[in-house]
Structure 1
Amino acid sequence: MKALVVYFSKTDITSKLVMALRDRLAQEPECDITLFSILGSDIVEGRFQNDAFIRSLPSYDVIVFASPTYMGSVSAQFKAFADATSELWAEQELANVYAAGITCGSAANGDQTSTLSYMQILATQHGMLWVGLDSACGFNDKGVNRLGCQLGVTAWSPNGELDPSDAATADYLAQRLINVVIKA
């Protein structure tokens, strides 16, 4: 499984979630994982300008999107990347690639679900196959999905620290991707 995590992180919470997911994927011998952190230098006059990276996206089996929730959606940096993927949309070059999402916010219900919904819509516009969580909040002893969003990983960081159960949820999503993509 060739996996990519494309993400933007300002306060490091998103990147810590990404690293938890990466660490679990790295334990799978059949998984080759690439991390791509969106940088300010990738964006020129509001547009994501890394064409070689965009052209590489169809080579992945799994793409995980990750962005903090800002004002009810993805960050501007992530949105610039998402807009650049429109070059692949017309020919549906990402069709049948698996997708998943990670986000965080500073409020318990800081509209993180809206961010994940945006990521899911982006994925489905490309014909990608969305993989959410299969663990309901409060109905298991796995210690994951404490905020109850099965659409993807949501984290709440009111004090600027990553809650261990949110990191465990990112790890859980990685295992779910392995189960769906490799072991199905």
Structure 2
Amino acid sequence: MNIHMVRTDIRVAIVFHSGYGHTARQAEAVRRGVEKVPGASVLYLTSEEAQSRWDDLAVADAIIFGAPTYMGSASAPFKAFMDATSSVFASGAWRNKIAAGFTNSASRSGDKLSTLMQFVILAAQLGMHWVNLGLLPGNNLSTGSEAELNRLGFFLGAGAQSNADEGPEIVPPESDLLTAEHLGERVAMVTQHMVRGRVTA
């Protein structure tokens, strides 16, 4: 096949809920990461908007899920979106798309892993391929600092921590936003590789 005919454009959807604005900042960082990859475009939707945009999501090459972790679980509005994907489950419309996720909470742990695992299971049920964060844990040595990427030490996706008494204009910290940006770029690159592979196979 002529190399000039290989498809390099991809569309990455970011579907998220943000209760107070902190997770929205994380979602914006993910978007910046996706847009760093040439040929990548972004469909940026709240979980509520997404429930009326199924056709647009069906043509996305990748979908990145994002929600705050409340009481050890994805927030209720995002869970409503997850439940609404039952129609996608039945049709298989998202089979073989790329998937990834991010979450934020007030505590350093905050049981964010539970939310990321919810996203992984959702992706598996829908036949999607999960992309992990791809970063070693940061700030886990005596010489480390809070400025390091993946300072919270997650592997499945991007985690962020926002102090409960600070607004989204202050938190999450820059290191967590850069970690989210890394996730967006990684997802776009993996998606592009997969799309190219399908075209040339």
| TM-score w.r.t. length of structure 1 | 0.87
Tell whether the 8 Å contact from 2:37 to 2:189 is kept in structure 1 after alignment. no
Per the TM alignment, residue 130 of structure 1 is displaced from its structure 2 partner at its CA by: 0.5
The aligned residue for residue 124 of structure 1 is: 124
Per the TM alignment, residue 182 of structure 1 is displaced from its structure 2 partner at its CA by: 1.5
* Alignment pair present for 1:21 and 2:35: no
Per the TM alignment, residue 54 of structure 1 is displaced from its structure 2 partner at its CA by: 2.4
Please state whether the residue corresponding to 1:67 is helix, strand or coil: strand
Rounded to whole Å, the distance in 2 between the matches of 1:61 and 1:147 is 29
Tell whether the 8 Å contact from 1:73 to 1:112 is kept in structure 2 after alignment. yes
Rounded to whole Å, the distance in 2 between the matches of 1:106 and 1:137 is 19
Per the TM alignment, residue 116 of structure 1 is displaced from its structure 2 partner at its CA by: 0.4
Rounded to whole Å, the distance in 1 between the matches of 2:14 and 2:105 is 19
Tell whether the 8 Å contact from 1:143 to 1:168 is kept in structure 2 after alignment. no
Which of 142, 149, 174 pairs up with 1:144?
149
Per the TM alignment, residue 143 of structure 1 is displaced from its structure 2 partner at its CA by: 2.5
Aligned ranges 1:13-162 → 2 under 5 Å: 13-39=22-48, 50=51, 52-138=52-138, 143-158=148-163, 159-160=165-166, 161-162=171-172
Please state whether the residue corresponding to 1:69 is helix, strand or coil: strand
- Root mean square deviation of aligned Cα: 2.1
Per the TM alignment, residue 73 of structure 1 is displaced from its structure 2 partner at its CA by: 0.8
Please state whether the residue corresponding to 2:117 is helix, strand or coil: helix
Please state whether the residue corresponding to 2:103 is helix, strand or coil: strand
For each residue in 1:54-81, what CA deviation from the matched residue of structure 2 results, as whole angstroms up to 9, or x when unmatched? 2432211010101000111111100111
For each residue in 1:29-74, what CA deviation from the matched residue of structure 2 results, as whole angstroms up to 9, or x when unmatched? 31110110134xx6xxxxx9x4x41243221101010100011111
The aligned residue for residue 178 of structure 2 is: 168
Please state whether the residue corresponding to 1:6 is helix, strand or coil: strand
Q: Letter of the 1:123 partner, please give it.
A: A
Tell whether the 8 Å contact from 2:33 to 2:183 is kept in structure 1 after alignment. no
Per the TM alignment, residue 23 of structure 1 is displaced from its structure 2 partner at its CA by: 1.4
Rounded to whole Å, the distance in 1 between the matches of 2:47 and 2:58 is 18
**How many residues matched?**
175
Please state whether the residue corresponding to 2:150 is helix, strand or coil: coil
Q: Which has the larger radius of gyration?
A: 2
The aligned residue for residue 198 of structure 2 is: none
Extract unaligned runs of 5+ from structure 2.
1-9, 195-201
